[in-house]
């Protein structure tokens, strides 16, 4: 990731001669190999490497008679996905307007108009694409034209730091910062893509009202150049970026930002060379800010004080006052962010090529946050998550050092382009309310705000151009949103929920998050509205009680950017956006079936249900013999009606029936894996005393009073009961026949206690849908793939101690599982009796009652039927379900993107296109 300038971003190049060194189908389920989330440890493959000093003009010899690139299916899909996500966001403008508005003449210099006209671009071949590169580079390589940049053509070797190995035909790079023989997404200044056919390969259309060409080849090219723009945004700190598109003898100029795409009409650069020459001449004299660089991101140079501090902190464990090492997970994440993996080609004397992977220093940065108390500075390496999207929030996250507290704990930064519409608060303002002392005090289980603020002067422009082109359109009719650059820093560095040790721990941490959701709603009047695997996180919390320090894993509910204030009158509670943003896989079936539905508490609670099921279907033995098919139908499923997309039938049917089934319509059951390791109690030491555990539990969850915990009548709180549970064999409610076990054998396995949790939750969900769901007629569903189960392991003693403490956190909340009622026998489609209506209403009400939901979960995990060893098995989502490295767990997906073409299957919002 590079802005190519090591000093302040307001630097202006010196004088010539002195070069400076909606209707969109849903996204897809994440790949099992891309186990990441927005607030977690993920190191995307690919950031910049240090640039070389060679100022020559590298023009590689292309293979003869071909310009066809062989792309993997993943890259093809990424390009299609990006293109679909950008549908309706292209604006066609004149070249004159584009130049006057975005490519200004440098102040104090007179343009050499006659020299522009004298430039000869006719020597660039038009018949074979590979023949275009050398002459194009030669024609551009004139110092009077480009005093500070060097044109480079490297269409046959990709950037080794980018996993997808994508490359572009050429680009402009600063002199002294140009690659020798490959694309460098981290340092490219102007992207240049060449095609030979001015019509068949033109991704845009000047002749129709819709500037987005619809022919297959032309759509493919549009997806290609859009993916290139994404790679630039992913690998640099960018506000906008420019592309020069060569189409035979014709050319277009393109400007990308987080709102949309501005494209000029085609012009013939061979007949009107002055147009292309003027663009190059002006571009070569533009400031970094004018070129689109984020001037608040400053490179940390090797050898500097900041550089030394970052490397020292990365390798030095942090000690608390008692001399105990803490926050090792954060230090490890930070250390990994200082390195980048590079794929290099090694050629021996005989010409044989081999490839190797090496680690290099990643570019380091000082990022500024303009908070309420003034600017604050944070030191970061490469991002841990990237959005791999073009228009939209473009969220990136970092583990960072606060320069105001350089020896303190690491912090977490979110860098995003927030939607800047009326009524949409900054996420930091929402967190500030959640953290303050009003309405009963701070909400436990949410991030702690350190600072936040908009980046001064950095806002998208494309939406303003659209409105100028449509002066009679209503403001809300604009398909492009206004995005403003925004940074948020919180104290907690978290792990993804996918790192849970066992399912008892997973449910325990989900209870923490439901509690946080409930307190935010009941006390602060805020509804989260985007429960997903990426927003429900693990926080390794350091607890210090009476001089004893330990680290306990608790659940943390993050990403409150879509939260909405619910304490408003009907007149005040208006829609803030024409669309709704959320996470498709975890959204309630009712919300997916009705895009205009107002999200309520019941929708979010249902999302917690889907989240628990998401992990269970992947990491527990069960009787579903095709996990890929289940994931496709339940989480990624969709229905298409008149060009609009709705949730899949599988999820909706399960909610209406109150029953989970396999793709073969068999009731879905989960099993306890057989223990093939030493019993947990043979590895664990003695459990801590009841008083010590209670005190520590109170420290982890301070809103639960010690006395209430200590006086709890629940028998499972006693030492004898806990030890009995640990020393007893696994006992499930019953024994069932399981077709595929962890080791592939055909054996009997015991039902897992998580089945009872699903059954209890489904009672309330079914009642809610019976009373409030209105059917919709839909058509067209999606399909699936295959599965395997795996093995498991025994836990460390520390994990059992954590379970004992977490058990105390929830013991006071546990109630009995709801008893069966006459409503349970209600047949779908039949009218309920008055008694059944009342029972249904009571059950449905519990879905909107946080205390009832927490009590339900707590009553189940406080039982002694849970395995005393790790019941999690390896991921069962098959390898052939992989849809590339682009999607992270819980990646956000907007419901709003307009899709004009409806003849394509659903797409998945990319998370990392590297």
Query: DSSP 3-state assignment of 748?
Result: strand
Measure the CA–CA gap between 646 and 644, rounded to whole angstroms.
Answer: 7
Q: Which pLDDT belongs to residue 302? A: 94
Q: Which pLDDT belongs to residue 878? A: 84
Chain centroid to Cα 567, Å, comes to 30
Most confident of 562-571, 644-653, 806-815: 644-653
**Two structure tokens written together for 501:** 């040790």
Check whether 43 has a pLDDT greater than 90: no
678: which residues sit within 8 A by CB, 6+ positions away? Answer: 794
Number of H helices and E strands in the chain, helices first, is 24, 30
Question: How many Cα atoms are found within 13 Å in the side-chain-facing hemisphere of 496?
Answer: 23
Name the band, by pLDDT with cuts 50, 70 and 90, for residue 644. Answer: confident
Q: Which pLDDT belongs to residue 346? A: 76
Segment 218-229, tens digit of pLDDT: 999 999 999 999
Give the pTM.
0.79
Q: Which pLDDT belongs to residue 165? A: 65
Question: How many Cα atoms are found within 13 Å in the side-chain-facing hemisphere of 317?
Answer: 8
Average pLDDT over residues 692-697: 49
The DSSP code sequence of 186-237 is TT-SEEEEEES-TTTT-SB-SSSS--B--SHHHHHHHHHHHHHHHHHHHHS-
Q: Which pLDDT belongs to residue 641? A: 83
547: which residues sit within 8 A by CB, 6+ positions away? Answer: 322
End-to-end CA separation in angstroms for the chain: 12
Q: Which of 381, 267, 281, 260 is nearest to 331 (CA)?
A: 381
Segment 257-300, tens digit of pLDDT: 999 999 999 999 999 999 999 999 999 999 999 999 999 999 99
Average pLDDT over residues 513-537: 96
**Two structure tokens written together for 40:** 């977690």
User: What does DSSP assign to residue 114?
Assistant: H
% of the chain beyond a pLDDT of 70: 71
Segment 727-747, tens digit of pLDDT: 333 333 333 334 443 444 445
Average pLDDT over residues 474-491: 94
Check whether 810 has a pLDDT greater than 70: no
110: which residues sit within 8 A by CB, 6+ positions away? Answer: none
> Which backbone phi and psi does 8 adopt, to 5 degrees?
-55, 145
Q: Characterize the bridge pairing of strands 90-93 and 261-264.
A: parallel
Burial class (CB within 10 angstroms; exposed 0-12, middle 13-18, buried 19+) of 685: exposed
**Two structure tokens written together for 740:** 């595929």
313: which residues sit within 8 A by CB, 6+ positions away? Answer: 331, 334, 401, 406, 407, 410
Name the band, by pLDDT with cuts 50, 70 and 90, for residue 355. Answer: confident
Average pLDDT over residues 753-761: 97
Strands (E) located in 655-734: none
Measure the CA–CA gap between 44 and 62, rounded to whole angstroms.
Answer: 30
Q: What is the 3-state secondary structure (H, E, C) of 525-574?
A: CEECCCCCCCCEEEEEEEEEECCEEEEEEEEEECCCCCCEECCCCCCCCC
Measure the CA–CA gap between 68 and 100, rounded to whole angstroms.
Answer: 36
Location of structure tokens 């071909």: 66
For the four alpha carbons of 617, 892, 383 and 30, in that order, the dihedral sign comes to positive
Name the band, by pLDDT with cuts 50, 70 and 90, for residue 453. Answer: very high
For the four alpha carbons of 193, 199, 202 and 206, in that order, the dihedral sign comes to positive
Segment 539-551, tens digit of pLDDT: 999 887 777 777 8
Check whether 301 has a pLDDT greater than 60: yes
What is the average pLDDT score of the chain? 79
Residue scoring higher pLDDT (155 or 386):
386
Measure the CA–CA gap between 757 and 854, rounded to whole angstroms.
Answer: 11
Segment 849-874, tens digit of pLDDT: 999 999 999 999 988 899 989 999 99
Measure the CA–CA gap between 462 and 418, rounded to whole angstroms.
Answer: 15
Q: Which of 753, 734, 778, 707 is nearest to 856 (CA)?
A: 753
List, edge to edge, every strand of the sheet that includes 548-557. 495-496, 536-545, 548-557
Check whether 900 has a pLDDT greater than 60: no
The DSSP code sequence of 325-339 is EE-HHHHHHHHHHTE
Q: Which of 607, 449, 613, 617 is nearest to 535 (CA)?
A: 607
> Which backbone phi and psi does 228 adopt, to 5 degrees?
-65, -40
Strands (E) located in 478-531: 483-490, 495-496, 526-527
Q: Which of 748, 736, 758 is nearest to 674 (CA)?
A: 748
Check whether 694 has a pLDDT greater than 70: no
Name the band, by pLDDT with cuts 50, 70 and 90, for residue 811. Answer: low
Q: Which pLDDT belongs to residue 76? A: 83
Q: Which pLDDT belongs to residue 809? A: 55
Residue scoring higher pLDDT (566 or 779):
566
Question: How many Cα atoms are found within 13 Å in the side-chain-facing hemisphere of 692?
Answer: 14
Residue scoring higher pLDDT (768 or 664):
768
Average pLDDT over residues 587-615: 95
Check whether 913 has a pLDDT greater than 80: no
Measure the CA–CA gap between 149 and 141, rounded to whole angstroms.
Answer: 9
Q: Which pLDDT belongs to residue 46? A: 34
Measure the CA–CA gap between 57 and 271, rounded to whole angstroms.
Answer: 26
**Two structure tokens written together for 688:** 């801590």
% of the chain beyond a pLDDT of 90: 56
Range of weakest confidence among 107-116, 427-436, 471-480, 608-617: 471-480
Q: Which of 149, 183, 177, 169 is nearest to 2 (CA)?
A: 177
**Two structure tokens written together for 766:** 């079914």
Residue scoring higher pLDDT (732 or 156):
156
Check whether 65 has a pLDDT greater than 70: no
Residue scoring higher pLDDT (906 or 201):
201
Check whether 621 has a pLDDT greater than 60: yes
Check whether 73 has a pLDDT greater than 80: no
Average pLDDT over residues 883-895: 32
Burial class (CB within 10 angstroms; exposed 0-12, middle 13-18, buried 19+) of 782: buried
Measure the CA–CA gap between 397 and 561, rounded to whole angstroms.
Answer: 14
Measure the CA–CA gap between 513 and 534, rounded to whole angstroms.
Answer: 13
Q: Which pLDDT belongs to residue 18? A: 32
Average pLDDT over residues 670-694: 55
Measure the CA–CA gap between 909 and 85, rounded to whole angstroms.
Answer: 7
Average pLDDT over residues 570-595: 72
Most confident of 253-257, 322-326, 381-385, 885-889: 253-257
Measure the CA–CA gap between 541 and 495, rounded to whole angstroms.
Answer: 11
Beta bridge partners of 543: 550
Most confident of 371-375, 384-388, 714-718: 371-375
How many beta carbons lie within 10 A of that of residue 883, not counting itself?
A: 23
Average pLDDT over residues 438-443: 95
Query: DSSP 3-state assignment of 10?
Result: coil
Beta bridge partners of 411: 400
For the four alpha carbons of 185, 190, 195 and 198, in that order, the dihedral sign comes to positive
Name the band, by pLDDT with cuts 50, 70 and 90, for residue 710. Answer: very low
Q: Would you say 62 and 194 are in contact if contact means Cβ atoms under 8 Å apart?
A: no
Q: Which pLDDT belongs to residue 438? A: 93
| Host H or E run for residue 133 | helix 133-140
Measure the CA–CA gap between 647 and 776, rounded to whole angstroms.
Answer: 11
Name the band, by pLDDT with cuts 50, 70 and 90, for residue 879. Answer: confident
Query: DSSP 3-state assignment of 378?
Result: strand
610: which residues sit within 8 A by CB, 6+ positions away? Answer: 585, 586, 587, 588, 635, 651
Check whether 755 has a pLDDT greater than 60: yes
Q: Would you say 49 and 876 are in contact if contact means Cβ atoms under 8 Å apart?
A: no
Average pLDDT over residues 30-48: 37
Measure the CA–CA gap between 615 and 826, rounded to whole angstroms.
Answer: 30
Average pLDDT over residues 681-696: 44
Segment 164-176, tens digit of pLDDT: 668 898 999 999 8
């Amino acid at each position: 990731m590079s802005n190519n300038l090591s000093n302040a971003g307001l630097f202006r190049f010196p004088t010539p001669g002195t070069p400076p060194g909606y209707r969109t189908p849903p996204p897809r389920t994440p790949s099992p190999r891309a186990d990441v989330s927005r607030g977690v440890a993920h190191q995307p493959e690919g950031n910049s490497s240090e640039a070389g000093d060679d100022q020559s003009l590298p023009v590689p010899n292309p293979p003869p008679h071909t310009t066809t690139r062989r792309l993997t299916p993943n890259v093809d899909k990424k390009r299609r996905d990006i293109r679909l996500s950008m549908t309706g966001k292209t604006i066609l403008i004149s070249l004159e307007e584009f130049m006057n508005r975005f490519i200004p003449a440098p102040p104090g210099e007179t343009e050499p108009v006659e020299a522009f006209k004298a430039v000869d671009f006719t020597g660039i071949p038009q018949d074979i694409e590979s023949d275009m590169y050398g002459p194009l580079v030669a024609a551009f390589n004139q110092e009077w034209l480009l005093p500070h940049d060097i044109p480079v053509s490297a269409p046959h070797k990709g950037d080794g730091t980018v996993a997808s190995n994508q490359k572009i035909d050429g680009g402009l790079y600063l002199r002294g910062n140009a690659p020798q023989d490959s694309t460098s997404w981290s340092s490219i200044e102007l992207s240049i893509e060449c095609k030979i056919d001015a019509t068949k390969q033109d991704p845009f259309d000047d002749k129709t009202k819709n500037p987005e060409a619809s022919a297959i080849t032309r759509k493919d090219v549009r997806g290609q150049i859009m993916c290139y723009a994404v790679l630039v945004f992913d690998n640099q700190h960018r506000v906008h970026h420019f592309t020069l598109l060569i189409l035979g003898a014709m050319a277009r100029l393109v400007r990308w930002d987080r709102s949309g795409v501005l494209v000029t009409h085609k012009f013939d650069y061979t007949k009107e060379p002055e147009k292309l020459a003027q663009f190059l001449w002006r571009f070569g004299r533009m400031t970094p800010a004018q070129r689109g660089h984020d001037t608040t991101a400053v490179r940390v140079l090797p050898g500097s004080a900041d550089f030394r501090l970052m490397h020292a902190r990365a390798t030095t464990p942090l000690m608390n006052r008692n001399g105990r090492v803490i926050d090792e997970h954060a230090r490890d994440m930070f250390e990994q962010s200082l390195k980048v993996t590079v794929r290099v080609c090694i050629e021996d004397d005989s010409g044989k090529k081999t490839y190797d992977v090496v680690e290099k220093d990643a570019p380091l940065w000082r990022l500024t946050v303009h908070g309420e108390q003034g600017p604050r500075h944070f030191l970061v390496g490469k991002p841990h998550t990237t959005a791999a999207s073009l228009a939209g929030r473009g969220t990136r996250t970092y583990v960072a050092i606060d320069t105001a507290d350089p020896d303190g704990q690491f912090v977490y930064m979110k860098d995003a382009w927030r939607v800047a519409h009326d009524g949409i608060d900054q996420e930091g303002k929402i967190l500030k309310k959640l953290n303050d002392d009003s309405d009963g005090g701070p909400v436990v289980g949410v991030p702690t705000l350190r600072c936040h603020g908009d980046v001064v002067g950095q806002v998208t422009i494309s939406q303003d151009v659209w409105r100028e082109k449509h002066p009679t359109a209503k403001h809300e009719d604009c398909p492009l949103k206004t995005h403003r650059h925004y940074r948020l820093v919180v104290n907690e560095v978290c792990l993804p929920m996918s790192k849970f040790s066992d399912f008892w721990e997973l449910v325990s941490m989900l209870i923490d998050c439901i509690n946080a959701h409930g307190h935010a709603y009941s006390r602060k009047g805020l509804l989260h509205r985007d429960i997903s695997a990426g927003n429900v996180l693990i926080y390794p919390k350091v607890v210090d009680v009476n001089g004893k320090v330990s680290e306990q894993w608790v659940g943390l509910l993050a990403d409150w950017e879509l939260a909405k204030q619910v304490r408003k009158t009907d007149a005040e509670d208006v829609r803030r956006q024409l669309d709704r943003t959320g996470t498709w896989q975890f959204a309630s079936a009712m919300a997916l079936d009705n895009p205009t539905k107002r999200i309520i508490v019941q929708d979010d609670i249902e999302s917690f249900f889907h989240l628990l099921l998401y992990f269970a279907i992947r990491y527990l033995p069960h009787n579903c013999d095709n996990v890929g098919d289940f994931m496709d139908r339940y989480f990624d499923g969709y229905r298409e009606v008149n060009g609009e997309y709705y949730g899949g039938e599988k999820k909706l049917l399960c909610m209406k029936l109150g029953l989970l089934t396999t793709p073969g319509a068999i009731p879905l059951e989960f099993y306890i894996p057989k223990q093939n390791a030493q019993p947990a109690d043979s590895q664990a030491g003695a459990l801590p005393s009841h008083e010590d555990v209670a005190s520590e539990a109170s420290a982890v969850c301070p809103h639960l009073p010690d006395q209430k915990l200590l006086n709890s009548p629940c028998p499972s709180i006693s030492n004898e009961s806990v030890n009995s549970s640990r020393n007893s064999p696994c006992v499930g409610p019953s024994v069932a026949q399981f077709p595929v076990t962890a080791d592939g054998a055909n054996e009997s396995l015991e039902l897992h206690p998580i089945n009872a949790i699903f059954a209890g939750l489904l009672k309330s969900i079914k009642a809610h849908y019976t009373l409030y769901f209105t059917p919709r007629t839909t058509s067209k569903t999606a399909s699936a793939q295959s599965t395997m189960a795996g093995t498991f392991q025994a836990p460390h003693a520390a994990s059992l101690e954590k379970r004992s403490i977490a058990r105390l956190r929830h013991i006071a909340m546990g109630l009995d599982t709801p008893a069966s009622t006459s409503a349970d026998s209600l047949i779908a489609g039949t009218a309920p009796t008055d008694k059944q209506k009342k029972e249904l209403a009571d059950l449905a009400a519990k879905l909107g009652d946080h205390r009832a939901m927490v009590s339900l979960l707590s009553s189940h995990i406080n039982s002694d039927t849970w395995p005393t060893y790790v019941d999690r098995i390896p991921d069962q989502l098959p390898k052939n379900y992989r849809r590339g490295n682009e999607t992270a767990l819980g990646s956000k997906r907007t419901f709003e993107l307009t899709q004009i073409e409806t003849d394509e299957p659903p797409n998945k919002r990319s998370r990392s296109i590297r």
